[in-house]
Chains A and B, each alone.
Chain A
Amino acid sequence: MRLRSRSLVVGAVISATMVSVAGVSLAWTPYPPTAIDIVHKLAAPSPTHPFGTDHLGRDVLSMIMAGASSSLSVALIAVVVGAGLGVPLGAFAAARGGWIDDLTMRGCDLAFAFPALLTAVMITALAGPGAGNAMLAIGIFNIPVFARITRSAARQVWGRDFVLAARTAGRGDIGITVVHVLPNIAPVLVVQITIQFALAIVADAGLSYVGLGTQPPFPSWGRMLNDAQTFIWRAPLLAVFPGVAITLAVLGLNLLGDGLQDVLDPRLRRGR
């Protein structure tokens, strides 16, 4: 228990830091993250530029901060799209059962047959690069993930006696789903949301790395990694900062998910 609650605290602190950094960057960064200053390019970290500058003399700290906001907003929208469509779809399949359920699950199987990141690359390549399309591409691949996990968790709840009791009280499928099924599967969903959020951050970094995500001049962690490649010998820190930012974000979310899983598990909670 102690170990788990520690991962919850650490995860929550890291995640909250990420969110506040992203929030602050909207209002304030040490320098404008797009301001070019060729004279001071590739500067090492110093009091004036705590993380140094990149090959165009932009302040790396400001770029990391702004990158957090773009990365988190892409991931947020992607998860909202995925959960917003996937959860109702899975809940509906579980409530109806029969061929509707079969059809939905076969549809998910089909979606899983495509490698997610490759197809996201394809979608953004076809629909045009940019943060908006990256959100959609990643979001679409979150739909079957949420549909499937919602469905299987919901099926278990549908088999329980209190659902039958709710039926004898006259509740219909929608009422039972909202009042009884969703609250009972909420822990599973919350944990999945943190996992998908972390995956979405990685996917967004991947898309912007290959130039299909957030478009320059607006900074993104993936783009920064790509730019840093050229100067990896002269200024290795340029790759380290965005790399660490991505790793921290993913680590924080995963720890948060792990911790939440235990806090939200009603069986463990009941034991207390």
Chain B
Amino acid sequence: MLEVKDLGVALTMGGQSVPVLSGVSFVLDRGHSVGLVGESGSGKSMTALAIMGLLPPGARVSGRIVLDGRDLLALPEREMCAVRGRRIGMVFQEPMTALNPLQPIGAQVAEPLRVHFSVTRGQANARAKRLLERVGLGKISPHRYPHQLSGGQRQRVVIAAALACEPDFLVADEPTTALDVTVQAQILALLAELAAETGMGLLLITHDLGVVSQTVADVLVMYAGRVVERGPTAGVFGAMAHPYTHALFAARPSESGGRPVAIAGQVPDPLYRPPGCAFAPRCARVRDVCATMPPLIGVGAHACACFNPRIAA
């Protein structure tokens, strides 16, 4: 079980310590899936990097990230290396740059194996070949180089590498953002399928609500470094309450051809966040009380951090 408890991250910018993440909590079990959604800058990647222990230098972390009873935040770097790739794998947004241009893809798929197990080159190659087959690249030679592959194929290579050691958890940070729409669906289907097949827990990060609603069991909606709404995916989408979730929903490109409604304004820079609810300046339902921080409280079957939630009758 991977448990994130009251995670906070502060970065040092211009000599000043600026909180970019606060009070993020969730539980990810094996065989389970959690989605993190939110606009650019809402702190999704920071959450992922905190779990991997790869925050930028100068970052201060608070809270706990517990993997099977051990707090990852307290682990020395050496032991954290043994967790990365072995217990928790990660897939990145940019398949174009996440692969070493000078290494054949087979070697890159096998990299985690060679790091964590003493396998022979032959064993590693054989396993790389099977992994490539599993992600649908059975016809691609492991001796190919990344530049000889398409974006979707590269992302499959990245996924194969993340799966090499059969990790218990997979963190996928916007794995489809850089891909064509048709390829996006394929990659998501592949991830869901692999998660179901191996029983690994999946943390799927995206800014696309459509992606989340189809793929994960639980969802956390993030805004400006905080969780503003959370719960079972069906519950959240069936009865969304936070004005931000509503706005995100209206802003998504829909298949039915309805025009997406962009959210006015921008995510506030971490340096200039309002004292209360960070969404207040962009919110149509803002009230005086919104100048204080709203707590995450239950609305029906899920939870929402808003003093004036919009609950469908």
Within the complex, which residue of B92, B116, B147 is in contact with A170, where a contact is CB–CB below 8 Å?
Answer: B116
Decide if A169 touches B84 in the complex (CB within 8 Å). yes
Decide if A165 touches B98 in the complex (CB within 8 Å). yes
Q: Across the interface, which residues of B come within 8 angstroms of A175, CB to CB?
A: 115
Decide if B112 touches A165 in the complex (CB within 8 Å). no
Decide if B97 touches A162 in the complex (CB within 8 Å). yes
B-facing mask of A126-167, CB < 8 A → 1, else 0? 000000000000000000000000000000000011101111
A157 to B, closest residue via Cβ: B100
Decide if B112 touches A266 in the complex (CB within 8 Å). no
**CB of A217 closer than 8 Å to a CB of B:** no
Decide if A167 touches B57 in the complex (CB within 8 Å). no
**CB of A4 closer than 8 Å to a CB of B:** no
Q: Across the interface, which residues of A come within 8 angstroms of B102, CB to CB?
A: 183-184, 266
In Å, the complex CA distance between A97 and B111 comes to: 25
Instruction: Name A165-179 residues within 8 Å CB distance of B.
Output: 165-172, 175, 179
A-facing mask of B83-122, CB < 8 A → 1, else 0? 1111001101010011111110000000110011000000
Decide if A164 touches B54 in the complex (CB within 8 Å). yes
Minimal beta-carbon separation of B160 from chain A (angstroms): 12
Q: Across the interface, which residues of A come within 8 angstroms of B94, CB to CB?
A: 161
Known interface pairs A168-B84, A170-B116, A171-B115. Does A162 touch B54 (Cβ–Cβ under 8 Å)? no
In Å, the complex CA distance between A116 and B82 comes to: 46
**CB of B2 closer than 8 Å to a CB of A:** no
**CB of A2 closer than 8 Å to a CB of B:** no
Q: Across the interface, which residues of A come within 8 angstroms of B84, CB to CB?
A: 167-170
Q: Across the interface, which residues of B come within 8 angstroms of A169, CB to CB?
A: 84-85, 89, 111-112, 115, 161-162, 164
A interface bracket (residues with beta carbon within 8 Å of B) = 20 to 34
Decide if A172 touches B98 in the complex (CB within 8 Å). no
Q: Across the interface, which residues of A come within 8 angstroms of B116, CB to CB?
A: 170
Q: Across the interface, which residues of A come within 8 angstroms of B78, CB to CB?
A: 172
B86 to A, closest residue via Cβ: A170
Instruction: Name B189-222 residues within 8 Å CB distance of A.
Output: none
Decide if A165 touches B147 in the complex (CB within 8 Å). no
Find the residue from B84, B98, B100, B111 having the highest chain A CB count within 10 A.
Answer: B100
**CB of B158 closer than 8 Å to a CB of A:** yes
In Å, the complex CA distance between A161 and B102 comes to: 14
In Å, the complex CA distance between A166 and B83 comes to: 13
Within the complex, which residue of A164, A183, A184, A270 is in contact with B92, where a contact is CB–CB below 8 Å?
Answer: A164
On A, residues with C-beta under 8 Å from B are 97-98, 160-162, 164-172, 175, 179-180, 183-184, 266, 270
On B, residues with C-beta under 8 Å from A are 52, 54, 57, 77-78, 81-86, 89-90, 92, 94, 97-103, 111-112, 115-116, 147, 158, 161-162, 164
